[in-house]
Structures are given as structure tokens and as C-alpha cells.
Amino acid sequence: MRELSLNVLDIAQNSITAGAKRIRILIREDRQRNLLQIRVEDDGCGMTPEQVKQVCDPFYTSRTTRKVGLGVPLFKMAAEMTGGSFRIDSVRDAGTKVDAEFCTDHVDMIPLGDINSTVILLIRCNPCLDFEFRRRIGEEELSLDTALLRGELGENIPLNDADVLQWIAEYLEQETRRLLSGAQSTPAAAPQTS
Ligand SMILES: Nc1ncnc2c1ncn2[C@@H]1O[C@H](COP(=O)(O)OP(=O)(O)O)[C@@H](O)[C@H]1O
Ligand SMILES: [Mg+2]
């Protein structure tokens, strides 16, 4: 996959298949240390410790229609290729947390890509589920929580209403711009004048 946002889509899709009602996507960039952390957390059916061990193996899947599950192994590989790390914490009947850490200055680093489109696609296709998306670069953070948005919209307007999706897209675009410009205008060591 050429964009990590597509891996995130696959990992969140696993959460949906696991019956999650609330999915959190957390992205944290430390540009000084060249680190990118991605976490996908859900309240789905979870896995046993044995399943967690197997799930990183490309020949394990609970699907019966296809023998090989690749979503998790590919995400793990994308992280480890950069010298980063990967872990899954899962509790049966409680939920799953997938954590990947990337060394962004490594030659094999895959760009994050269009993460906003991934979030919008998830909301559009799953308007009854809740998604919390947070992206942080240094001290700046953007956040979107569809549970809050749902409360504001009331019962009659679904989250996949065209105007609502348009609003979300514009909000994320504007917030991403703020985040990225803040990251660029924060020099590692600003000269002090007194
Ligand atoms: N968030 C999750 N909650 C519960 N089970 C999961 C989760 N993510 C992955 N799994 C389990 O791991 C298996 C492998 O996932 P994956 O590598 O994405 O392949 P696939 O989705 O094609 O089966 C899934 O079939 C499922 O049994
Ligand atoms: Mg999958």
C-alpha cells in the first residue's frame, strides 16, 4: 500500500467487522524525533491472546471465504520496515488496540497520505457507528468526534447526510491546514531576543 491511510482504513474495517460501536483513530507526529504513531482502538469483540499471536501471521484469518488475511500483517510490516514497532492489545468481549510506530526519516517510510478521506469514508459508510479522530503534530491537535456531532445534529439528520459530510470534509481540511502550518512555523530552536 502506498499510503498508510489505506492501512488505517483496513484496520478500522477489522474493528467494524468485530462489531465495534466506537472506533478511535489517533495519530501523533513528533517531527523533532522523526516519529509517527498510529493507534486504532475499538470496543469490538476483541481477541484471545492466542488469536492476537496468530493475527500477525499472514496465513491467519477468521474469514471462511478467503484463506489469507493481510490487513494486520501489512500494517505491521509497514511499521517494522522503517525500524518502528507494532503491537496489538486486545481483551475478549472488550476491545482491541492496534499501535504502530514509524521512523519517518527511514527510506522505507510510506507517507501517511489522505487520512481525512479515510475518516470521511468510514463515517459515510457507517453512519450509525461513532468515530473519534485525533491528529496531533507537536503541541497542535485537531479532533473530530462524531458522538458530539451526532448530539448537535439531533435524531433526524444522519451523519452521512451530504451537507454534514461536506461540513466534516471542510472542517478537517481547515484543521489540517492549521496543524501543518503550525508544524512548519515551529523551528527546532528559535533564536531568542530579549
Ligand atoms: N479489531 C479487531 N477485533 C477483533 N478481531 C480482529 C480485529 N482485527 C483483526 N482481527 C482478527 O484478525 C483477523 C485478521 O485480520 P486481517 O489481517 O485484517 O485479515 P482479514 O480482515 O482479511 O481477515 C480477522 O479475521 C479477525 O479475526
Ligand atoms: Mg482486515
Contact 105, 34 (CB under 8 A): yes
Residue 193 has pLDDT above 60, yes or no: no
Looking at the chain, the whole-number percentage of residues with pLDDT higher than 70 is 89
Contact 26, 39 (CB under 8 A): yes
Contact 137, 31 (CB under 8 A): yes
Say yes or no: domain 4-181 is CATH 3.30.565: yes
Rounded to an integer, the average pLDDT of 50-67 is: 74
Nearest CA to ligand 1 atom 22: 69
pLDDT of residue 192: 55
Pure H helices in 44-111: 49-55, 71-80
pLDDT confidence bin for 175, thresholds 50/70/90: very high
* Digit-coded pLDDT (tens) for 91-117: 999 999 999 999 999 999 999 999 999
Nearest CA to ligand 1 atom 19: 69
Chain centre to alpha carbon of residue 114: 11
Rounded to an integer, the average pLDDT of 167-184 is: 93
Rounded to an integer, the average pLDDT of 59-66 is: 64
Domain ranges of the chain: 4-181
CA of 60 to the centre of ligand 2 (A): 11
* Digit-coded pLDDT (tens) for 3-44: 999 999 999 999 999 999 999 999 999 999 999 999 999 999
Average pLDDT of the residues of the chain: 92
C-alpha angle 100-101-106 in degrees, rounded to nearest 5 = 130
Which run of H or of E encompasses 27? strand 22-30
pLDDT of residue 2: 87
In angstroms, the Cα distances linking 29 to 59, 61, 117, 133 are 32, 31, 19, 14
102-106, 155-159, 180-184: segment of lowest average pLDDT: 180-184
* Cβ(67) – ligand 1 distance below 6 Å: no
Pure H helices in 38-145: 49-55, 71-80, 115-125
pLDDT of residue 159: 97
pLDDT of residue 116: 98
Nearest CA to ligand 1 atom 27: 62
Closest C-alpha among 139, 118, 96, 97 to residue 6? 118
pLDDT of residue 94: 98
Closest C-alpha among 42, 39, 41 to residue 136? 39
pLDDT of residue 191: 52
Is pLDDT larger for residue 26 or for residue 70? 26
Rounded to an integer, the average pLDDT of 180-188 is: 69
* Cβ(14) – ligand 1 distance below 6 Å: yes
Rounded to an integer, the average pLDDT of 42-70 is: 80
